[in-house]
Amino acid sequence: MIQIRGLGKRYGEFDALKGIDLDVAPGEFLVVLGPSGAGKSTLLRCINRLTEPTSGEIRIDGQAVGADAASLRRLRCQVAMIFQHYNVVPRLSVLKNVVTGRLGAMPSVLSWLQVFPRKDIEIARECLRRVELLEKADLRTDTLSGGQKQRVGIARALAQQPKIILADEPVASLDPKTSRTVLNYLKQASRELGITVVCNLHQIDYAREFGERIVGVSGGRIVFEGGPGQLTGEVLHRIYPGLDEDTARAGDPAASPAAMSAPALQSLALEEA
């Protein structure tokens, strides 16, 4: 579904991405794991052309992604984005926020007038039902909690009926219980609707719990590709350079909980908070 070859992005003298090669299969739930500043967000923004790559090639469903208007329109219809800070319009109702995911499929004049066809409203309502927010449809979005706003973001992405969803740190500002709820909705949608999901995370336990495959990114390079069970202490040292031994061991599935020191558990918890 996604093929990336030699992807690079430079900001002045700084290389944010350095020769990324990556394939993502149709319907796969891929977690990109890494510390802040590793290049995870830049990678997603290059995929959907919110940021223009410096070098390399990206193909979506076999077609090269270009910078021309026709290519970008096709791309934006196929690829939806979920942002860390929700990107909802506070003054609009929950339903109107979700139905904006249908704008790419609507005539421009209708979108300007905010006149939404009945079929698009029904699609939006079904997406709200999927994230268990249908009863909030008529409320202003600024009355919702952070977790509910992120569920609105998921519903909006689903309303687009995309082939791919790119989720950029979607639970970074949420508490652990709400984070798992949000990731469960995203994983369920991927599984039931066959949507390919690329999800940026920096929390080790969430990556292991939800990722079908994990790609570790550090310093703009891919330093690990594998299943959740392969995310060992040695791998974590590659993804998080400078990680202390106890914390790496706490993130190692082979480590016994009894063997983890209190400082290690506290350090891991703080990192994943």
In this predicted structure, what is the pLDDT of residue 245?
A: 55
**Among the listed residues 258, 211, 218, the one whose alpha carbon sits nearest the alpha carbon of residue 235:** 218
- 177, with CB counted inside 10 A (0-12, 13-18, 19+), is exposed
What the block records as the tokens of 12 is 């002045």
Report CA Rg, the chain. 19
CATH topology of domain 2-242: Rossmann fold (3.40.50)
**Among the listed residues 35, 124, 48, 120, the one whose alpha carbon sits nearest the alpha carbon of residue 83:** 48
CB 20 within 8 A of CB 7: yes
What is the pLDDT confidence band of residue 74, given thresholds at 50, 70 and 90?
Answer: confident
| pLDDT greater than 80 at residue 144 | yes
What the block records as the tokens of 192 is 């039931």
> Alpha-carbon dihedral of residues 200, 206, 212, 216, nearest 10 degrees?
50
User: What would the pLDDT profile of 184-241 be if each residue is shown by its tens digit?
Assistant: 999 998 999 999 999 999 889 999 999 999 999 999 999 999 999 999 989 999 999 8
CB 55 within 8 A of CB 32: no
In this predicted structure, what is the pLDDT of residue 172?
A: 87
CB 229 within 8 A of CB 253: yes
What is the pLDDT confidence band of residue 250, given thresholds at 50, 70 and 90?
Answer: low
In this predicted structure, what is the pLDDT of residue 107?
A: 54
What is the pLDDT confidence band of residue 111, given thresholds at 50, 70 and 90?
Answer: low
% residues pLDDT > 70 (the chain): 85
